Amino acid sequence: MEKTSALASGVGVGIQKRLKKEAGKWNYYAGRVHRTVVFIGISRVVPHSERSQSRSYSKYFSEQAPLGWEDDVKDTVGYILGKNYESLRFLEHSKYTLPVVEVAGVKYSGLNMGAGENALFEIFRVLYSAGKGALLVIDEIELGLHADAQRKLIQKLKESCIKQKSQIICTTHSKIVFQQLPPDGRRYIEAIGGKTKVTYAISPEFAMAKMGAKEDEELEIFVEDGVAKSLLSALLPTKLRSRVSIRVIGSAAALSRQLAAAFLRHPEKLVLAIFDGDQRSKYNQLLKHSKDMSETSSTEFVEWFKGKVSFLPGDTWPEAWIVQKNIETSQTLAQQVDADEDEDELCEFLEYGLQAGKHNEFYEIAEQLGFDELQCIQILTSNIKQNFEPEFHEIFTKIETALV
In a shared domain, residues 90 and 125: yes
In a shared domain, residues 254 and 143: no
Q: Give burial (CB, 10 Å; 0-12/13-18/19+) of 270.
A: middle
In a shared domain, residues 149 and 228: no
Other residues' Cβ atoms within 10 Å of the Cβ of residue 245: 15
Residue 187: which region, alpha, beta or left (left: phi > 0; alpha: psi -120 to 50)?
A: beta
What angle do the packed helices 318-328 and 343-355 form, to 10 degrees? Answer: 160
Question: Would you say the C-alpha torsion 320, 326, 327, 329 has a positive or negative sign?
Answer: positive
Residue 392 lies inside a defined structural domain of this protein: yes
| 273 within 8 A of 255, measured Cβ to Cβ | yes
Residue 172 lies inside a defined structural domain of this protein: yes
In a shared domain, residues 300 and 173: no
Q: What residues make up the domain containing 327?
A: 202-404
In a shared domain, residues 95 and 175: yes
In a shared domain, residues 169 and 245: no
Residue 267 lies inside a defined structural domain of this protein: yes
Q: DSSP letters of 185-221?
A: G-EEEEEETTEEEEEES--HHHHHHHTT-----SEEE
In a shared domain, residues 90 and 55: yes
pLDDT digits (tens, 9 = 90+) for 311-358: 999 988 888 898 898 888 888 888 877 776 677 888 888 888 888 878
| 179 within 8 A of 172, measured Cβ to Cβ | no
Tally of domains in the chain:
2
Query: For the whole model, what pTM was predicted?
Result: 0.56
| 155 within 8 A of 185, measured Cβ to Cβ | no
How far, in Å, CA of 202 to CA of 211, rounded? 13
Other residues' Cβ atoms within 10 Å of the Cβ of residue 10: 13
Residue 190 lies inside a defined structural domain of this protein: no
Other residues' Cβ atoms within 10 Å of the Cβ of residue 137: 14
In a shared domain, residues 228 and 360: yes
Give me the tens of pLDDT residue by residue for the chain, a chain 404 residues long.
344 445 556 566 667 777 777 777 776 666 677 789 999 988 887 777 667 666 666 677 788 888 899 999 999 999 999 999 999 999 888 878 889 999 999 999 888 888 899 999 999 999 999 999 999 999 999 998 999 999 999 999 999 999 999 999 999 999 899 889 988 888 888 877 777 888 887 778 777 777 765 555 678 899 998 889 988 888 888 878 878 888 888 888 889 888 888 888 777 778 899 999 999 999 999 998 888 888 777 778 888 898 899 999 998 888 889 889 888 888 888 887 777 667 788 888 888 888 887 878 888 888 887 888 888 888 888 888 888 889 899 998 888 888 86
Residue 372: which region, alpha, beta or left (left: phi > 0; alpha: psi -120 to 50)?
A: beta
Residue 157 lies inside a defined structural domain of this protein: yes
In a shared domain, residues 252 and 141: no
Cα end-to-end distance, the chain, whole Å: 51
Residue 27 lies inside a defined structural domain of this protein: no
In a shared domain, residues 209 and 140: no
Domain boundary among 125, 149, 180: 180
The CATH number for 175's domain is 3.40.50.300
In a shared domain, residues 266 and 403: yes
Tell me how many degrees the CA angle 261-264-265 measures, rounded to the nearest 5. Answer: 85
Residue 159 lies inside a defined structural domain of this protein: yes
How far, in Å, CA of 317 to CA of 296, rounded? 30
How far, in Å, CA of 85 to CA of 75, rounded? 7
Residue 262 lies inside a defined structural domain of this protein: yes
In a shared domain, residues 148 and 292: no
